Amino acid sequence: MSKQPVVAVAGATGAVGREMLSILEQRSFPASKVIPMASARSAGTTVPFAGGDLTVTELTEDSFKGVDLALFSAGGGTSEKFAPFAAQSGCVVVDNSSAWRMDDRCPLVVPEVNPDDLDWHDGIIANPNCSTIQMVVALKPLHDAASIKRVVVSTYQAVSGSGQKAITELETQVRKMFNMEDPEASVYPHRIAFNCLPQIDVFLDNDYTKEEMKMVNETVKIMGDHNIKVTATTVRVPVFYGHSESVNIEFENKLTAKEARVILTQAPGITVLDNPKEGIYPMPINSAGEDETFVGRIREDETIDNGLNLWIVSDNIRKGAALNTVQIAETLLERDLLRVEDPNVFF
C-alpha cells in the first residue's frame, strides 16, 4: 500500500483499546487518520491521542467504509458481528478477542514467531491469548534449535487480564481487609486479595478451564507443529499487571541451559534476566509498561534427558494484547499485505 492507511480502533474506550491508541502513537504508526470506535453509549466521548483528543464514533455495520485497517478490542461477540462487515468493506481486521483464533480461515499470529502466516489472510487476523503470546515468543527460538516434544506450563496471571472491574475489585478487597471488613467478590468466584484462584474462565468437560485449553490449542496453531504436546494450569493471582509463567519443556535433542540462555538473549522481543544468585530474575514489576518478554530461571530439568525449565514474564496488556496487535499491523504494512483477497470468505 503506497498511501498511509486509515486506521480504526474498535473498542477504543476500553483498557486495551486505549493502550492500542497509545502504542500507535508511541511507535509512530504511519496512519493518515485514526478513528476510535465504540458502542453507542460511548459515542461522542473523547479519547487522548497524539497530544489531543479524538471523538469516538459508534461502531456499526457501515463504519468501515474508507477504512484500511481495523484493530479490534471490543469483545468476542462484537467481533463476530462486525469484523466480517469490515472485511467485506475491504478493511483488514486484527482482532484481539478469542472469536477467530481457532478459525481455519484466520491466521493466529505473533510476529516474532510466525509472520509468514499473514501471507494467507483473507481479511481477519487473530491476536492470540495473552498467556500464549509470551510463552511462544520464548518457545520458538528453542524449538528451532532442539525441537520441542512437550510443554508443561503453570501461569500466574494478573487481574488486569479480566479488565478494569477486576483491578477495582482487588483494590477494594485489600482496603476492606485492612479495615477489618469482609470483602465481597463479584468479578471472581472467590476473593482474589491475598489469594490465588486456580480457575481462569469456565471449566470444560475435560476439567480444564477454557483459558488452559486456549494455551494448548493456540500454541500448536502458532508454532505450526501438531507434534508439540501442551498441558496447562492457569491461575489468577493478586497482581495488577504482568503475567508470569513457569514452563517446563522436553526436547527431542539436548539443549543445555547455557545454550538456551545464548539463544534467548539473541531472540527478538526477549530480555534475559537470569542471575539468581544475585537475585536477578523476571518479576511482574519488571514487565509493567514494557514491550519485552522477560525470561529467567533457565535451568536443566534433571529428571529427564532433554529438559529445561524457564520463568517467563510479560505485560499482559501490552505484549499480551495491544502491542502484539500493533506489531501485526506493522508487519502487514511491511509485507504489503494490507488488502483483502476474498472479502466474501466470512459470509
From residue 232, give the alpha-carbon distance in Å to each of 4, 148, 150, 248, 269: 42, 16, 11, 10, 23
- R_g over Cα of the chain: 20
Q: Write down the pLDDT at residue 341.
A: 83
Residue pLDDT, tens place only, 12-25: 999 999 999 999 99
Is it the case that residue 185 has pLDDT exceeding 70? yes
Residue pLDDT, tens place only, 275-320: 999 999 999 999 999 999 999 999 999 999 999 999 999 999 999 9
Q: What dotted CATH number matches 6-99+322-334?
A: 3.40.50.720
* In the chain, where the domains are located: 6-99+322-334, 131-316
Q: Given 106, 121, 143, 243, which residue is catalytic?
A: 243
Is it the case that residue 2 has pLDDT exceeding 80? no
Of all residues in the chain, the percent with pLDDT exceeding 70 is: 99
C-alpha cell at 334: 511491511
Of all residues in the chain, the percent with pLDDT exceeding 90 is: 96
Q: What dotted CATH number matches 131-316?
A: 3.30.360.10
Is it the case that residue 1 has pLDDT exceeding 80? no
- Please say if 106 is a catalytic residue: no
- CA angle, corner 307, sides to 156 and 213, nearest 5? 40
- What does 44-109 look like in DSSP terms, one character per residue? T-EEEETTEEEE-EE--TTTTTT-SEEEE-S-HHHHHHHHHHHHHTT-EEEE-SSTTTT-TTS-B-
- What does 240-303 look like in DSSP terms, one character per residue? SS-EEEEEEEEESS---HHHHHHHHHHSTTEEE--BGGGTB---HHHHTT--SEEEEEEEE-TT
State the pLDDT confidence band at 343, using cuts at 50, 70 and 90.
confident
Interhelix angle 15-26/323-334, rounded to 10 degrees, is 40
Q: Of 342 and 47, which is predicted with more confidence? A: 47
Per-residue pLDDT, averaged over 161-166, amounts to 94
Q: Given 91, 106, 130, 143, which residue is catalytic?
A: 130
Interatomic CA distance for residues 256 and 178, integer angstroms: 47
Per-residue pLDDT, averaged over 125-147, amounts to 98
Q: Write down the pLDDT at residue 109.
A: 98
Query: What is this structure's pTM?
Result: 0.96
From residue 144, give the alpha-carbon distance in Å to each of 110, 149, 225, 244, 312: 16, 12, 11, 23, 18
Is it the case that residue 211 has pLDDT exceeding 80? yes
- Please say if 91 is a catalytic residue: no
Residue pLDDT, tens place only, 239-261: 999 999 999 999 999 999 999 99
Per-residue pLDDT, averaged over 187-199, amounts to 98
Calculate the average pLDDT of the chain: 97
Q: Write down the pLDDT at residue 3.
A: 84
Is it the case that residue 344 has pLDDT exceeding 80? yes
Interatomic CA distance for residues 290 and 102, integer angstroms: 28
